[in-house]
Amino acid sequence: MTKKLLTIDFEPLGRRARVALGTTLLEAARQAGVGLSAICGGAGTCGDCRVRVVAGEVSSPTEAEAEATSAGFRLACQTHVLGDVRVDVPPESISALQRVQIEGRERPVELDPAVRGFDVTLEPASLGDLRADAARLKDALSQQYDVPVGRFDPAVLRRAPSLLRQDGWRARIAIKGQDAVAILPTDASLLGLAVDIGTTKLAAYLVDLESGETLASTGAMNPQIAYGEDVMARITYAMETAERAGELQRVLIEGLNALIGSLCAQTGCDSATVVEAVLVGNTCMHHLALGLPVPSLGLAPYVPVLSDAYDLKARDLGLDLAPGADAHFLPNIAGFVGADHVAMVLATDIYRADQITIGLDIGTNTEIVLAARDRLLSCSCASGPAFEGAHIRDGMRAAPGAIERVRLTDDRVEYQTIDGAPPVGICGSGILDGVAEMLRIGVLRASGAIVAGSHPRVRGSGRTAEFLLVPAGERSAPRDVAITRKDINEIQLAKAAIRAGIEVLLKEAELEAEQVERVVVAGAFGTYMDVDSAVAIGMFPPLPRGRFVQVGNAAGMGAKMALVSRRCRKVAAEIARRVAYVELTTHRRFVDFYTAALQLPEEHGAMGCSLSQNDA
């Protein structure tokens, strides 16, 4: 006889779990794919997992809950289900965004896609009307819509005869400018693809070009990772032989085609109805995707081969879209500030900010933009892959079991893992939290040294010191997870690069940090991370929390905007033209700023980097 399962509904998300009697609401939420925050791991101490039980029978509140919750709320980790239950989940209890960071803040854009569909009905061919199919289509588009077609893609010509004759001389023609790029049955939707090619991650969105709706989105690792984890490693690899450069392009296109396949499978759409793609990426990814040589990106003066926006046939790249579809690449700004940055500046509206605004897209390379008094300045910092969990001894990517949040008390360690899985390592936001917390409770010195004996979890001393986050066995951890002195050093290098970039831009604009009114943080890590921790270690200037906005994958959002709006493409070109690129490596103050920023702030709220103030 099977155990009777209870039905737990999570509103307003519309998610459902079927669980056994006595299961906690937290566990049920995990089964339902509802990402409840629970940094204490379900101990009832953090108070993050507040929910409201709307209907159904549950266990009585515990004493811990009484302290942690206000009227009507329960802690999901402490509440056991006794029957079918309906639960209301308040937004603040949702654990950030999905872990494959593909979503971002959508901004409504007026629909004005480059490719538009026109349904035409033709006169059938006859002995009295011997016009070629192409001429017939051209005449119909001109007569029925006043749309002049200058050119039919070969793919349209190849498909037209059978489609027209099967479909009663009717068809939907996808037109871009004066080019007919696809011919489809009259009931077909016109779809578009937006792609953000990150050094580490790929994100792809399938969009209905006629409604602007995102039908599906998905993400994956960039398969080029196998050839080097950062841009310089890829350039070095690609420079060795033309075959190797071709290999980097090939695996990338394969990865993108896998995403296209997945998006089509999710939605039941046919990739032959995807009539345009917009791609963004940093300049190196942009070049590798286009099959452009990258050696010039690896050597001073680091000039790109191509900076303007660029269209080419998706088939020339091997992308599995409609055979006549274009791939549109947004413009690059410089060798290390690419189209993804342009897309971010577009999506976040920084380009027309009234307030003094800093925008950051934190990744293996971090691009920073400063908007102030009609100027747009940008730079690129080699922040390295530490925030992706690389170069960290127990580091890992943001995957189930990764420690993503850490809080320390004088004798205890609280942490949260992705999906609540047994802890197996630590990801970017976890290490950031860990360093910030170690600093806060006095385990770390400004130099990054671990103070021996400062906490029960400190092991060893000097260069071999480490801080044990999870002893093997705790919450089924397969092994110890710790933060080492060397890990802290990696974080110092990364945060110093970012902070020095910010300071150089402020210096160029003759601004003080405190004048910055808004800091827009984009990217996967930038969205999951705790801004307070970033401020605590001096990665960001010590501004009030309210000035920071975390916007998710703004580059991907910008790509989507450019997909559905020709005006946004114009704005992107304008952004690329307006942004003044500041080369850090040759900047007279960069080394000073960087050196200062390597230190950790001595007290919470202070700055590791204090030069910008002394220097005014």
Binding site for its own copies (CB under 8 A): 125-127, 129-135, 151-152, 154, 157-158, 160-162, 165, 290-293, 295-296, 300-308, 311-312, 315-316, 332, 334-335, 581, 583, 586
Nearer to its own copies, 311 or 512 (CB): 311
Task: Supply the minimum distance, in Å, between the C-beta of residue 285 and its own copies.
Answer: 16
> What residues have CB less than 8 Å from 483, skipping those under 6 apart?
392, 394, 426, 431, 434, 435, 438, 466, 467, 469
Task: Supply the minimum distance, in Å, between the C-beta of residue 373 and its own copies.
Answer: 24
Task: Supply the minimum distance, in Å, between the C-beta of residue 607 and its own copies.
Answer: 31
CA distance 148 to 458: 73
Residue 12 identity: P
3-state helix, strand, coil in the chain (%, to 5): 35, 25, 40
Nearer to its own copies, 159 or 507 (CB): 159
Task: Supply the minimum distance, in Å, between the C-beta of residue 156 and its own copies.
Answer: 10
Nearer to its own copies, 381 or 494 (CB): 381
Task: Supply the minimum distance, in Å, between the C-beta of residue 232 and its own copies.
Answer: 17
Nearer to its own copies, 133 or 414 (CB): 133
Q: In this structure, are residues 25 and 56 in contact, taking their beta carbons and an 8 Å threshold?
A: no
CA distance 246 to 304: 18
Nearer to its own copies, 323 or 526 (CB): 323
CB-based burial label for 169 (10 Å; 0-12, 13-18, 19+): middle
- Best CA proximity match to 402, nearest among 360, 438, 434: 434
Angle at 448 between CA 446 and CA 453, to 5 degrees: 95
Strands 366-372 and 15-20: unpaired
Residue-wise over 50-62: b if at least 16 C-beta within 10 A, else e? bbbbeebebeeee
Task: Supply the minimum distance, in Å, between the C-beta of residue 53 and its own copies.
Answer: 59
H helix intervals, 324-376: 339-347
Task: Supply the minimum distance, in Å, between the C-beta of residue 458 and its own copies.
Answer: 47
Nearer to its own copies, 281 or 420 (CB): 281
Nearer to its own copies, 439 or 579 (CB): 579
Strands 580-581 and 375-381: parallel
Task: Supply the minimum distance, in Å, between the C-beta of residue 565 and its own copies.
Answer: 22
Name the DSSP class of 392: S
Task: Supply the minimum distance, in Å, between the C-beta of residue 303 and its own copies.
Answer: 4
* C-alpha R_g of the chain: 27
CA distance 285 to 198: 7
Task: Supply the minimum distance, in Å, between the C-beta of residue 8 and its own copies.
Answer: 52
Nearer to its own copies, 132 or 265 (CB): 132
Secondary structure of residue 447 in the 3-state scheme: coil
CB-based burial label for 607 (10 Å; 0-12, 13-18, 19+): buried
Nearer to its own copies, 131 or 250 (CB): 131
Nearer to its own copies, 309 or 458 (CB): 309
Secondary structure of residue 492 in the 3-state scheme: helix
